């Protein structure tokens, strides 16, 4: 995976370094945009090489949330919290309570939820300190809980749409390669299996890979080798930056559609996909199911409203692909143009690979 340095021409509205020595908390909260509403986006717990890498990840992810929330039609801006995973054991409740106090200080400017490395119990610890958190256990049939199944559902529907357009076919019998069997990837495997797709999977945790292989009759490939898999659809569900120039050259899929944020190492890699005739379903257009659930919980929508908005994931992708075809743009550029028009943002943000 590529380590990217953020080089933005749409700088965030504010960046907040958060630190609590006693709790072992060290992180950053980025409010990229509050133009459409409170900056909403999950909290990532990950081990970073240094503070610059942590801040860079937070900025990219926060900007992605601005675009994602706008394209999903949510009355929310974009933000993200990124926390450095402490070395050795730590008191998780205390750690997330300290994070909750940092969120509370922003007074509703930032709304948090789960992301990679965090879960429902962590958000409950945050809730002890602030009400600006979602992804809590659902109550009385209202939206809530782990947003991942909603993300998986949205990606699945987008994949159906992409398969129809690109291959003129439904998913039944198609070879689909899923990279990463975490919360979203494993849920997606269940949906794909049910739809009759033939699964190829890669996951660093051998026990998890073996379990999915048995349950869904999937073939296991190595973490790197899956890029070469003979398949119709490549489904990135691990971390970002997986598609750089070399990876794009290696892909044998006709479609890329997955949950991972910031799949493209650089925008040029999206152009490379288009040049190779591979349909790229832009990440933030297809993986908004989870944030729709989070928004519904935070804003007090009912479950029917959340479901209806997630079920429109295929239509949202279709709108982007239609715009791309009309304007002669690659899909990721079409999505950026549509998102920017909704946000009223100036020029595009750029990323360049770390030297």
What does the binding site for ligand NAD look like in residue numbers (CB under 6 A)?
Answer: 115-116, 147-148, 151, 179-185, 202-205, 223, 237-240, 259-261, 287, 290
Determine the Cα angle at 349 with ends 277 and 10, to 5°: 155
Least distance CB 169 / ligand NAD (angstroms) = 25
All residues at 6 or more sequence positions from 229 whose CB lies less than 8 Å from its CB, including other chains:
175, 177, 200, 221, 252, 253
- Would you say 77 or 182 has its CB closer to ligand NAD? 182
Between 147 and 331, CB nearer to ligand NAD: 147
- To 5 degrees, how large is the angle CA 32–CA 263–CA 218? 135
When the beta carbons of 284 and 329 are compared against ligand NAD, the nearer one is 284
| CB 115, min distance to ligand NAD, A | 6
Residues written for the chain: 355
Burial class (CB in 10 A: 0-12, 13-18, 19+), 257: buried
CB of 287 to ligand NAD, least distance (A): 4
Q: Give 88: exposed, middle or buried? Use CB within 10 Å, 0-12, 13-18, 19+.
A: exposed
**CB-nearer residue toward ligand NAD: 62 or 239:** 239
Q: Which is nearest to 237 in space by CA: 194, 181, 172, 321?
A: 181
**Residue least distant from ligand NAD (Cβ):** 182
Q: Which of 80, 94, 105, 172 is catalytic?
A: 80
Pick the closer one to ligand NAD by CB: 100 or 185.
185
CB of 261 to ligand NAD, least distance (A): 4
What is the smallest separation between the CB atom of 204 and ligand NAD, expressed in angstroms? Answer: 5
Active site annotation includes 68: no
Tokens of 303: 């479950």
The Cα 275–Cα 246 span in angstroms is 14
Residues taking part in catalysis: 80
């Amino acid at each position: 995976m590529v380590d990217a340095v953020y080089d933005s021409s749409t700088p965030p509205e504010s960046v907040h370094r958060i630190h609590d020595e006693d709790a072992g908390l060290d992180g950053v909260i980025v409010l990229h945009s509050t133009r459409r509403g409170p900056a909403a986006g999950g909290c990532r717990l990950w081990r970073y090489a240094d503070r610059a890498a942590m801040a860079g990840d937070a900025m990219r992810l926060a900007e992605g949330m601005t675009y994602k929330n706008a394209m999903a039609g949510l009355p929310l801006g974009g933000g993200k919290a990124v926390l450095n995973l402490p070395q050795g054991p730590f008191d998780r409740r205390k750690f997330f309570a300290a994070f909750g106090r940092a969120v509370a200080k922003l007074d509703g400017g930032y709304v948090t939820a789960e992301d990679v490395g965090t879960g429902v119990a962590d958000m409950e610890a945050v809730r002890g300190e602030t009400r600006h958190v979602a992804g809590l256990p659902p109550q009385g049939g209202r939206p809530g809980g782990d947003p991942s199944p909603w993300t998986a559902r949205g990606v699945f529907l987008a994949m159906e749409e992409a398969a129809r357009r690109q291959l003129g076919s439904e998913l039944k019998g198609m070879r689909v390669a899923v990279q990463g069997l975490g919360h979203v990837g494993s849920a997606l495997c269940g949906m794909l299996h049910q739809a009759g797709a033939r699964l190829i999977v890669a996951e660093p945790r051998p026990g998890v890979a073996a379990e999915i292989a048995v349950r869904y009759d999937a073939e296991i490939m190595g973490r790197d080798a899956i890029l070469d898999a003979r398949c119709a659809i490549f489904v990135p569900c691990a971390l970002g930056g997986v598609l750089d120039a070399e990876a794009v050259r290696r892909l044998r899929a006709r479609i890329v559609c997955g949950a991972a944020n910031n799949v493209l190492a650089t925008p040029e890699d999206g152009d490379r996909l288009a040049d190779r005739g591979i349909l790229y379903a832009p990440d933030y257009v297809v993986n908004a199911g989870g944030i729709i659930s989070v928004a519904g919980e935070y804003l007090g929508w009912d479950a029917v409203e959340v479901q209806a908005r997630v079920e429109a994931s295929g239509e949202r992708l279709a709108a982007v692909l239609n715009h791309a075809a009309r304007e002669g743009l690659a899909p990721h550029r079409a999505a950026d143009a549509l998102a920017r028009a909704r946000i009223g943002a100036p020029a595009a943000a750029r990323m360049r690979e770390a030297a």
